[in-house]
Structure 1
Amino acid sequence: MPRLRPLLWMLAVATVLAGCSTLGAVAGMLGNQVSFTAPQLQGYLDRRFPRDYDKLGGLVTLSVLNPRLSIPQGSHRLRLDFDVGFGALGRDSRTPAGHLALASGLRFDPGTRGLHLDNPTIESLDMPQLGGSMNATGRDLVNRWLAGYARDEPVYQFDSSLLQRLQSRRIGATTIENGLVVVHLDQ
């Protein structure tokens, strides 16, 4: 029987961990907050990109490729870098034509059950494949995409298991603290 005790203990721990599938997705759930790491959000984004957005009645396609998410040290905003491509008149939109970098806070949207960009700002927009600068139409296209993306598309979506555990809690503010995305819970 003494030999079985460690085995039973390990089996119990393994069962508890297997039952908490969200443990792999949530860095920590401590009291009144849930924390996520940049690699967790990156994993979600990797499954969602590349994305194509047809504009101007299909005459132009904006492709957003290769998302790279980071949380700069000491920052209260995350950074997202994308490669972007434009398709028009025989140009393949999946061929990167430039780079887009933006900074943003995050907010929880109950409709999508996810974290969305909040007040994103473009930090840089470099288009060397299009002559280095972008015309007003291209810049407007990127700004419209960014506004729509922030409104409609989560950067990370909560899974059903996490939502069940938070069922009786109200989700409050979302902040970025010490390199983590922190979702604060209200009673």
Structure 2
Amino acid sequence: MNVRRRFLLQAAGIVAAGALLAACSTVSALLGNEVTFTQLQLQQSLNRNFPKHYDKLGGLVSMTLMNPRLSIPEGSSRLRLDFDIGLGALGSDSSQPTGRFAVTSALRYDPSTRGLHLDQPMIENVDVPALGGVMNSSSRALLNAWLGDYARQEPVYRFDNSLLDRLGSRRIGATEIANGHVTVHLDQ
């Protein structure tokens, strides 16, 4: 085989390997017994699912959550979610931010949604200037109710069919947040 043809075959192999790695964009690594997700992958999943609008008390109170910002603080075993929040009452518009709040949480896998959900979320801080910078009891109750529902029902990240197919018969085990990544451990 001549040198030029061998070079072209090697180059094609390198390009094919690069394309295969790019095709695995849903996870940053599938190595052995774990799957690792980056902050960017989780953020992109959140961006597709917001803003979210909620009405309570027959529409007397409304809340819109928008602009989620996910971070994985260095040295922390919990991720942080910052949201802009719009509050409305008696039919007023809640689609514009009137404040913000932050939540920290671990993550857990839920097979019924095939996704990573908040686990033991905690409100870290709330800043709503329209309420004097502090939440009153009704707005805190609304926010806590949303947080509980969200943690139960909506994943931060949903596993796609191609990832689940690659996992085969392995079960998804514990989820760990460390070193700026989320790692899902796989059981045999």
Question: Which bracket does the TM-score occupy, shorter chain normalised?
Answer: over 0.9
Instruction: Give matches, 1:117-136, under 5 Å.
Output: 117-136=118-137
Distance 1:146 1:45, change over 3 A: same
- Which string of whole-angstrom CA distances, capped at 9 and with x for unpartnered residues, describes residues 148-178 of structure 1? 0000111011111111001210100001021
CA RMSD in angstroms comes to: 1.6
Structure 2 residue 31 is matched with structure 1 residue 52: no
In structure 1, runs of 5+ residues without a counterpart are none
Q: How far, CA to CA, are the matches of 2:55 and 2:47 in structure 1? A: 21
Partner Cα distance (1:117, 1:21) in 2: 28
**Contact 2:61/2:91 (8 A) holds in 1:** no
Q: Counterpart in 2 of 1:5?
A: 6
Tell me, in whole angstroms, the C-alpha distance in 2 between the residues paired with 1:90 and 1:61: 8
> What is the one-letter code of the residue matched to 2:41?
Q
Corresponding residue number in structure 2 for 1:116:
117
Distance 1:48 1:10, change over 3 A: farther
The equivalent residue for 1:186 is 187
Shift of 1:24: 1.7
The 5-angstrom pairing of residues 146-165 of structure 1 reads 146-165=147-166
1:54-133 paired onto structure 2 within 5 Å: 54-133=55-134
Identity of aligned residues (%): 59
Structure 1 position 90, deviation (Å): 4.7
Alpha-carbon distance in 1 for matches of 2:186, 2:23: 17
Q: 1:165 to 1:98 in 2, by over 3 A?
A: same
Please list the CA deviations of residues 20-48 of structure 1 after superposition, one character each: whole Å capped at 9, or x if unmatched.
Answer: 66522211111111101111101111111
Q: Residue 45 of structure 1 contacts residue 67 of structure 1 at CA under 8 Å; is this kept in 2?
A: yes
Amino acid of the residue matched to residue 52 of structure 1? Answer: H
Q: Please say if residues 126 and 133 of structure 2, whose CA atoms lie closer than 8 Å, have aligned partners that are also in contact.
A: no
Hey, what does 2:177 align to over in structure 1? 176
Is the Cα contact below 8 Å between 2:34 and 2:183 reproduced in 1?
Answer: yes
Runs of 4+, deviation exceeding 6 Å: none
Structure 2: runs of 5 or more not aligned: none
Q: Which shifted more, 120-129 or 56-65?
A: 56-65
What do residues 25-80 of structure 1 show as CA deviations (whole Å, max 9, x unaligned)? Answer: 21111111110111110111111111111221222221001100001110000000
Distance, in Å, in 2 between the alignment partners of 1:10 and 1:56 is: 64
Change (3 A) 1:5 1:83: same
Cα distance between partner residues in 1 of 2:125 and 2:46? 20
Contact kept in structure 2, 1:109 and 1:116, CA below 8 Å? yes
Q: Which moved more, 1:73-82 or 1:43-52?
A: 43-52
CA distance in 2, matches of 1:179, 1:64: 25
Matched AA of 2:82: D
Q: TM-score, normalised by structure 1?
A: 0.93
